[in-house]
Amino acid sequence: MKNNTLFERAVQGIFLILGLFTVGCVLLITLYLVFSGIPAILEIGLWDFLFGQVWDPAGADPRYGILPLILSSIYATAGALVIGVSVGFFTAVYLSKKASPRLKAIMSSAVSLLAGIPSVVYGLVGMMVLVPGIRELFDLPDGASLLAAMIVLAVMILPSVIKVSVTALDAVPKEYEDASLALGATAEETWFRVSVPAAKSGIATAVVLGVGRAIGEAMAVMMVSGNVANMPKLFESVRLLTTAVSGGMGYADGLYRQALFSIALVLFLFILLINGALNFFVKEKRNDSC
């Protein structure tokens, strides 16, 4: 018994150390971004930095307004979520509740394979197939646009949304569905009025993962969006926060390099706020249901 107690305490101590290490890494990253990004914001001015409409740090008269980058990131993420979450959610419901075991296994393998494709491959396929398709379909001079970025990001978040949502739906006790069916509800009504509400926490987690993947993607978006810092329009080239950082960090120096760290700080805070808002929403819904 004594040896078992010592072993349990040792394992608990290891888990505690690993947990503290993880939290410490997050804190270090946060502090590094804060101390690296604040100086540029103070020098440029918070209003001019966040709400300036011109991003031209390498010009004769450098301008560091990131409003076009912020709006482009918001629009691209929102469009990707509208497409990706909608398709992923209904796919997850079908796989969990309707598909045969054989079809579910095949499609689950395909979804897992989709998750393992590198970002640069998504960008390459988008650049070679999607961008020319948009150019021809809408008769545009260039298909690299906000729309292309939305579609590529939507495809990239599908695996996370589908896999996590299927897991959440599969975890709903079968007794819930049996009781609903016994009361006269149809199968479809049971899925969407019983199973989905019961699995809403897991589905919300899937959405959070999708947001993180969409807003944090750089390489694929850079290849299909045109990478021009315009105010966002659906059929025009745009530059996102992530692409601005990844595209400029290799050669930037001075205030330009500091401004890129400031963009990274804004992106970090943006993701933090979204995750916090979604978690708060889920908790409020859970409390209301209780």
Q: What are phi and psi of 63, to 5 degrees?
A: -125, 140
Q: What is the pLDDT of residues 158-197, one digit of tens each?
A: 998 999 999 999 988 888 888 888 888 888 888 888 889 8
Residue 221: Cβ-neighbour burial (10 angstroms; 0-12, 13-18, 19+): buried
**Do 205 and 108 form a contact (C-beta atoms < 8 A)?**
no
Task: Examine residue 45 and state whether it is found in any structural domain, yes or no.
Answer: no
pLDDT, mean over the chain:
87
More confident of the two residues 145 and 254: 145
Task: Examine residue 131 and state whether it is found in any structural domain, yes or no.
Answer: yes
**Do 239 and 66 form a contact (C-beta atoms < 8 A)?**
no
Q: What is the pLDDT of residues 190-221, one digit of tens each?
A: 888 888 988 888 888 888 888 888 888 888 89
Q: Are strands 55-56 and 63-64 parallel, antiparallel or unpaired?
A: antiparallel
**Count: domains in the chain:** 1
283-286 contacts, C-beta under 8 A, 24 or more apart: 285/200, 286/201
Whole-model pTM? Answer: 0.87
**Percent of the chain surpassing pLDDT 90:** 36
- Helical (H) or strand (E) element with 64: strand 63-64
Task: Examine residue 251 and state whether it is found in any structural domain, yes or no.
Answer: yes
Name the pLDDT band for 122 (thresholds 50, 70, 90): very high
Question: Tell me, what's the pLDDT at 290?
Answer: 54
Task: Examine residue 168 and state whether it is found in any structural domain, yes or no.
Answer: yes
**Do 128 and 119 form a contact (C-beta atoms < 8 A)?**
no
- Which structural domain range is residue 221 located in? 67-289
Task: Examine residue 127 and state whether it is found in any structural domain, yes or no.
Answer: yes
Residue 284: pLDDT above 80? no
Task: Examine residue 231 and state whether it is found in any structural domain, yes or no.
Answer: yes
Task: Examine residue 194 and state whether it is found in any structural domain, yes or no.
Answer: yes
Name the pLDDT band for 249 (thresholds 50, 70, 90): confident
Please spell the DSSP secondary structure of 194-246, one letter per residue.
IIHHHTHHHHHHHHHHHHHHHHH--HHHHHHSB---PPP-TTS-B--HHHHHH
| CATH number of domain containing 152 | 1.10.3720.10
**b/e map 158-179, b = 16+ CB within 10 Å:** bbbbbbbbbebbeebeeeebee
Task: Examine residue 201 and state whether it is found in any structural domain, yes or no.
Answer: yes
3-state secondary structure of 63: strand
